[in-house]
Structure 1
Amino acid sequence: MTDTSTLPIRPVPPRQLAWLRTEVSDWASQGLISPEQADVIRTRYRSDHHTRSSIGRVLLLLGGGFVGIGLIWLVAANLDQLAPVARFGVVTGLWLVFLVGGEALAARNASPALVGGIRLLAALGTGAVVFQAAQSLQVPAFEPRLVGVWAAGALLHGYLARAYLPFVVGIVTGLGWWFAQPMWDAQSGLTVVVLLGAAAVLAAGLAVLHDRRLDTFARTWRTLAGGMALLALFVAAVPDIGGGGVEWSTWLVVVLAMAGLSAAAALVVHPGQRALEPLGAIVVLGAATLLALWSTGADTSDVDAADWLHAAVSIGAYVALAVALVALGTVREHPSLSWMAMVGLVVFTTFQSFAVFAPIVTGAWLFVVLGTVFLGTGFLVDRARRELVQALDTTTDSPDSTDTTEGDVR
């Protein structure tokens, strides 16, 4: 008999543990496994109450955040009384305290909420160090490149420590840099569409690269890819959004190259079904660009056949994307993708319906038309989801569906 004392004990969510124990008892009753094997399986798992949010965790996180922000605020309010070098030293010292303290607490297996709060402060402190250094060097504080340096530092912290909250800070600040830097000198609607589509390609490629390595990070990248794809098609469908053309710059070429490299790396590492994600994002980028270039005029009081055709094609493309995201959410067991697709479809369809139908039908008839559109698109999406779930239930799980290393969620 196997010595259970040498087996690693894995923490799992309480609901998952209850399901597992029920299944193990069922297997033992059917003779699929022996009672001894059932006991071995049960002893390998324990309930981990830290996997779900609780009031205590929220209060610890909020408390740490408020204390840290208060300390930074007190220092910032008195920075004018210090020399530039002293200011930089104070801010850097606080950042190092949070950075080293968070990792020290993590090494001692402290409360995940406390560790997460300190790591969050360290990630925010990275930005404070960057902006304070820029001020000391007489660099304008409003330049996007400073946000880019902050994002790079937070992402580096997140990946080196496998810490989720610094990773999220890096994602948020990185998104700000992604759009602000290429549009710093000149802005256009088509450039926004291209940036949204390129962000979807970059995030989709990174999601695939993170699969089976850092699954928590992969889910975040996949969620970001879906959101950027939905936004790209939404903005592209705005009448005459691409009339100004693309404002090319060195940074726009850089971000497009980053997206291309991410997709290419994903295709090389995972040439199978997972490669469909970055390829689908590339298709969305192309479709959004073409829709934005298709100008039918911005006068909503004069809707002609071209406007109807543009709206129909836009809705069809958006429905196809929504169905694809629902399918992806089902296959990857990522419900937020499915909900995001459904909410986006409702908002987009409402926007298009008012833009096209409102000048023609008013009052109660407008709601009838809207309801008909919602019923049609909802039926298509729900039927596709049901057929996909049925197909998955009748097939065996592939080896790619197994998950391995999880990222640190703190």
Structure 2
Amino acid sequence: MIVTSALRHAAAGSAAMLLVLPAPVAGAATPPRAPATAQAHAPALGPESVTEPTPPARRFMEAGRLDRAGTQVQPLAGAPDVPTPSALSWVVADAGTGDVLAARAAHRKLPPASTLKTLFALTALPHHEASEQHTVADEELTGIGEGSSLVGVKEGYTYRVSDLWNGVFLSSGNDAVHVLASMSGGWESTARQMQEKARSLGALDTRVVSPDGYDAPGQVSSAYDLAVFGRAGVRDPEFTRYCSTAYADFPAGSWSYGIANTNRLLTGADGVGRYPGLLGIKNGYTSNAGNTLVAAARRGDRTLVVSVMNPQSGGGLAVYEEARELLDWGFDAADKVRPVGSLLPPKTPEEKPEEKPEDTRAVSVRGGAGAPAAALGAPADRPRAVVEPDDAGPSVALPLSLVGSACAAALALWAWRRRVSRV
């Protein structure tokens, strides 16, 4: 102990006393520490024990389940068998809680086709009122990709914003997207805004190049991200009104013509049965992406959202039937499975305590596995993640209160012995 060493050498005079402080550093003595059972013998704790940004179980589910290959589901007693869609990637989730009930390759990055228009709508809808009118300029219709789906927007014609959104959701009109993007700051600005919106929602797999979903090098999304966009959409009444509209009239100057939603689960077209309680959302197709779909349906007080990307068998309508299977299973299994992840965005810095960097000036972290938790910036009533010690020797930093006590004791004894020797 430091005090014992100091007392032993005090009689040798003040010069000897100056050697007291470095003595423990040179030897094997160790400063007092927190109880060993709470530090060195405890299992190593992860980052959650320090910052607690999200419940550890949820973080584990997202990282440990949704990133894995193969179908991810955690059935309880009585759960129905999960379907086996041919799609490369799919997700079925509860839109209310955000719980992912089952998924396959949820974070696999694939071209999204026109399902990316869900993100475009989430980004651009707030910019203009539905009743606002806009006269289309010729330059607003430049750069539309060859073979794009169109609703029939014409330069020089005046449209209500609601007409343009009907063109986006029902006809998947890339011409309507170009006009709305021009009204929202321009094509490149809209792409940047969409990217920021995706990040804010926790959709980290998406890279936006062409806001209309037209195939572009590097443009990708994932079934997870599309489900995130779908969940956000059905929580917005304006978005939901557009995406659940089956038929509408589109103006063409002095007259108008009817347009139908291309989502067959909503309209029942082409022999695809309408899905009860469907809220719509968005389908898509390109030669590179194949068929893609985000769909949501409500049954009772529960709303589910599914995303299906690129079925590998069954033809062009398979995407609807596979989405139907997933919705049916989700409603049957919702209370009979444990979630494998969450669509909820991560907590913001304002919602979680900030993790402060270790202060190595006062405490040796590399060799200080036994240092008091409070010295490392952790609350005294919560265990701190253990820092593994190294072989560099004992810590060179000692608690100042202990050094002061040793010095005071040594000085007192030295002064007393000098007085005695003079008597």
- Range into which the TM-score falls when normalised by the shorter chain: under 0.3
More contact order relative to length (CA 8 Å, sep ≥ 6): 2
Normalising by structure 2, we get a TM-score of 0.19
- Computing the radius of gyration over CA atoms, which structure comes out larger, 1 or 2? 2
Query: Where is the helix percentage greater, Structure 1 or Structure 2?
Result: 1
Normalising by structure 1, we get a TM-score of 0.19
